[in-house]
Amino acid sequence: MAQRELTESELHLYKIRTEALKIINSDTLYKRYNNTNLNLIPLITNKEKKVFVLTGPKNNGVMIFGNDYLLTFDNNSKLIKQKQLHKSLIPIEFGSKDEIEATIHSHIIDDLITSTDICTLMLYGKFAKMKTHYVMSKKYVSIWDFKKETLTVMTREDFEKIK
């Protein structure tokens, strides 16, 4: 357990996470709700520096969609853009012993399921006794199968035909 210096990639992740924390603590865009935490996830891929901010529950048996954000940084770890991915907070309880056939939430901002929705579904899928989650928008329906961990996207028009 010897202390060591951060690697270059760790240092870049640390810098953008630290900068993101300053921003969310000083900007009214970021909402905080009772019994939740804002979780910061820094990610650097193909020279893109991003920090996802997801709302996580403090209580067991709850999956939270929404109140999530994406911050994008330049090569000098300065904020370029910030975007609210969902406008509201949607808690879904799954603590019951019975399997839940399906859950649903709707999208107004984006037509397709978001990457943060998929992360939430994958994270809680191991604990939730759910079969399917639907994300509905005007144009598309995204269908997440918990058991197979697969996503199917179809037009809303085609979805309406199979009901």
Query: Counting Cβ atoms within 10 Å, is residue 101 exposed (0-12), middle (13-18) or buried (19+)?
Result: exposed
Secondary structure of the chain: what % helix, strand, coil (to 5)?
A: 25, 40, 35
Mean pLDDT, the chain, whole residue set: 92
Do the beta carbons of residue 45 and residue 107 sit within 8 Å? no
pLDDT of residue 95: 79
pLDDT of residue 97: 77
- Does the pLDDT at position 163 exceed 80? no
| 31-54 mean pLDDT | 94
User: What is the percentage of the chain residues whose pLDDT exceeds 70?
Assistant: 99
Contacts of 80 (CB under 8 A, 6+ apart): 72, 73, 74
Contacts of 129 (CB under 8 A, 6+ apart): 94, 96, 97, 98, 99, 100
Angle at 145 between CA 141 and CA 148, to 5 degrees: 145
pLDDT of residue 109: 78
Q: What is the pLDDT of residues 79-133, one digit of tens each?
A: 999 999 998 999 998 877 788 899 999 998 789 999 999 999 999 887 888 999 9
pLDDT of residue 98: 80
119: its two tokens: 């992360």
- Does the pLDDT at position 41 exceed 90? yes
This prediction has a pTM of: 0.87
